[in-house]
Amino acid sequence: MKQILLASTVILFAASANAADIPYVEPVPEVVPVEAVNDWSGFYIGGHVGYGWADFEFEDPAVSITGLPLGGLPGLTIGVPLERDFDGDGFLGGATVGADAQFGSFVVGVLGDFSWTDISGDFRSTSSLLGGLITTSEGVSADLNWFGTGRGRLGWAFDRFLVYGTGGVAFGEVETAGDITVTLNTPVAAPVALATLTASGEETHVGWTAGAGVEGMLTEHFSAKLEYLYADLGEAHHEGPATLTSPLLGPLPPGVALEGQGEFAVDLHSVKLGLNYRF
């Protein structure tokens, strides 16, 4: 019996000694995957739709007459009462191309966009002369046919969202028209239109633009943006052929030509929603 107890004691002591020699292995901590931060660097193309509000200002309207048979007189320029300020609005839509580079949370980029628009406005009025014996009806209109920008932008990225400011050059084609009708009013007969003068033309305006926006990543390659822009398209000299219609005077003499002219200035506000594909 003593031999059995002694053997058991020896075995337990050996087992304890061997257990003390086993090295302790610390548990491996659980690895939590870290979501990658979005990178805005790269090229992109896209499209946009939006709405615009324009302020048109028409100054120094006049009509030039050339070819008059008056002893070599080169011509005459006559001012007409069509100076007007008026508003216009309409939809726009087009395409965008650009590139961004990200440095930490700071994003710098360049972009260009082009929009077709139906932004238009007009103004009409009437005036009385000589106690109502003569009345005039005047009208002027303007249409912004297309609008484009070349801009830089600076922004701050919040992972998948980007808040930015933008500015650069702006340009657009403005089509203008004006008319004036002179009417004779008598108490014994119906009003008679003495003459109607019409003129139209189009010019490309160049100015500057500035605005701000926010853009968010929808997927790995697609992003959506909401952007506001103000554009000052500056002032441009508009001129174009004019037509005189008069049942009393008849057609103009051969060689006589008319041209309408004036100074147009345009300011534009626009809000655009865009979708970009990022490479």
Per-residue model confidence (pLDDT) at position 256:
83
Per-residue model confidence (pLDDT) at position 9:
43
**Which tens digit of pLDDT belongs to each residue from 224-238?**
999 999 999 999 999
Q: What average pLDDT does range 8-14 have in this prediction?
A: 43
Per-residue model confidence (pLDDT) at position 235:
94
CB 269 within 8 A of CB 207: no
Per-residue model confidence (pLDDT) at position 12:
41
Per-residue model confidence (pLDDT) at position 168:
98
Whether 110 shows a pLDDT value over 80: the answer reads yes
- How confident is residue 33, by pLDDT bands cut at 50, 70 and 90? very low
Q: What is the mean pLDDT of the chain?
A: 86
Whether 151 shows a pLDDT value over 90: the answer reads yes
3-state SS assignment for residue 226: strand
Least confident of 109-118, 136-145, 252-261: 252-261
Each domain of the chain, given as residue ranges in start order, spans 43-278
- How confident is residue 80, by pLDDT bands cut at 50, 70 and 90? confident
Separation CA 90–CA 98 (nearest Å): 26
E strands present in 218-256: 222-245
pLDDT, greater one: 110 or 36: 110
Whether 70 shows a pLDDT value over 80: the answer reads no
Per-residue model confidence (pLDDT) at position 72:
57
pLDDT, greater one: 220 or 69: 220
Separation CA 62–CA 82 (nearest Å): 9
Whether 1 shows a pLDDT value over 80: the answer reads no
Per-residue model confidence (pLDDT) at position 27:
61
Q: What average pLDDT does range 264-275 have in this prediction?
A: 97
Per-residue model confidence (pLDDT) at position 28:
59
Per-residue model confidence (pLDDT) at position 107:
97
- State the DSSP string of 89-149: EEEEEEEEEEEEEEETTEEEEEEEEEEEEEEEEEEEEEEEEGGGTEEEEEEEEEEEEEEEE
Q: Which residues pair with 268 in a beta bridge?
A: 54, 231
Per-residue model confidence (pLDDT) at position 37:
66
Q: What average pLDDT does range 240-247 have in this prediction?
A: 87
